[in-house]
A = this chain, B = another copy of it.
Amino acid sequence: MAVIGTGLIGTSVALAAAAQGVSVYLSDRDRTAARTAAALGAGRAQEPPEPVDLAVLAVPPSQVAAVLIACQGRGLARAYTDVASVKAGPEQAVLGRAPDPAAYVGGHPLAGRERSGPLAARAELFRGRPWALTPHPLTSRAALDRGLELAELCGAAPVVMRSREHDEVVALTSHVPHLLAAVMAARLRDGPAGVPLLAGQGLRDVTRIAAGDPRLWGDILRSNARAMAGVVQELRADLSRVAAALDVLAEADDGARDQGVRTLEELLARGVAGLARLPRPGAGPPEGRAALRVLVPDRPGELARLLGAVAAFGVAADDIAVEAAEESGLSVRIPVPTADAERIEAGLDAVGYAVQVRSPANWTALSKR
């Protein structure tokens, strides 16, 4: 394998491949970066002696086509992919200008760090992350297969889609979030003296990705301007409504204020609904879950004891709810995977809890197993 561009992503790909025994040849127009990657164990900082199976072009989106053309001109590899986070523009340039477009499949691993450069690279960077592959109509089966193998080699989950669909999705899931993080972080520069004193984890999370390299991100955003423009337009419309509501709340009488609060609450509720579309890390599908109900005596520490007991069975504390307070104690609902329900019930029974009721529909499903 050849890796052209030994920044964060290129070096991480090379480290992951080298760890699996692949021979990797590294290059970068900054020779120090390539030697640094090599000294990290990512491969050899030299041209391959003969054509390689796959060349990974880890360069900014605007340079993908030009680098591909140069590589194909000297017969570097039998297949090519890239890692740029915009796909339609590079694809169009490749189709229009490259000697052998069939040997190219677009790629985009959805992983990154707020640091850049080879020293920030990690072989595990892509583990469990999505890796988009965007074959165009001329992409050969062999090139697509090399792309799929690369994603799997890095421990990522390949997702195959069209380049334009990819760009619309990442405008929403990556590029506009980056822009918003930067706009928010830029406001901190001129804020009052107390800003560093009262900065909490929430602010850090919202702004974290704004630490990315402005040159690289400028190139990414420029290359996906059309898809981003639509999302930014919608955001501005939402923010205008919010601004009007805030003005009302700051100035107006009680009736108008109620309307302002409703506007804010409605936006916040839409935000909660939007978050529900993101897969919860580590969460299984909503089907296949049963609910155990346990009555906890009304004594200090009893609930903490139950939480400790269910944690021992691998149940996430976040899913547990107190459903009702009865005369005799608190009724606690514990959602569990149907497949584990009997085992957890027996385990809770063994440490002194009586499981009272199970969600009947799910319980039927459980009994049928």
Interface contact A41-B301, CB-CB below 8 Å: yes
Cα distance A336–B36 in the bound complex, in angstroms:
21
What is the CB-to-nearest-CB distance from A301 to chain B, in angstroms, rounded to a whole number?
4
A130 and B198 contact, Cβ closer than 8 Å, known pairs A222-B260, A301-B39: yes
What is the CB-to-nearest-CB distance from A20 to chain B, in angstroms, rounded to a whole number?
15
Residue in chain B with minimal CB distance to A44: B300
Having A187-B231, A207-B278, one finds 4 other A-B pairs with CB under 8 Å, namely A39-B303, A210-B271, A219-B261, A232-B239
Interface contact A265-B166, CB-CB below 8 Å: no
- A67 interfacial contact with B, CB 8 Å: no
Interface contact B265-A215, CB-CB below 8 Å: yes
Interface contact A39-B206, CB-CB below 8 Å: no
Interface contact A208-B210, CB-CB below 8 Å: no
| Interface 9-mer from A144-152, A188-196, A284-292, A349-357 | A188-196
Interface flags, A206-221, vs B, CB<8A=1, else 0: 1111111011011101
What is the CB-to-nearest-CB distance from A107 to chain B, in angstroms, rounded to a whole number?
13
What is the CB-to-nearest-CB distance from A63 to chain B, in angstroms, rounded to a whole number?
14
| Interface 9-mer from A50-58, A74-82, A92-100, A322-330 | A322-330
- A110 interfacial contact with B, CB 8 Å: yes
Among the listed B200, B204, B232, B246, which residue makes an inter-chain contact with A242, where contact means beta carbons less than 8 Å apart? B232
A111 and B200 contact, Cβ closer than 8 Å, known pairs A166-B194, A243-B229, A304-B40: yes
Of residues 152 to 199 in A, which have CB atoms within 8 Å of B's CB atoms?
159, 161, 165-166, 168-170, 172-174, 176-189, 191-192, 194-199
Q: Can you give 20 contacting A-B residue pairs, CB < 8 Å?
A: A38-B300, A39-B301, A42-B300, A169-B192, A173-B203, A174-B198, A174-B200, A184-B235, A186-B274, A189-B273, A195-B278, A207-B275, A211-B275, A214-B265, A214-B271, A215-B265, A222-B260, A229-B243, A235-B239, A236-B239
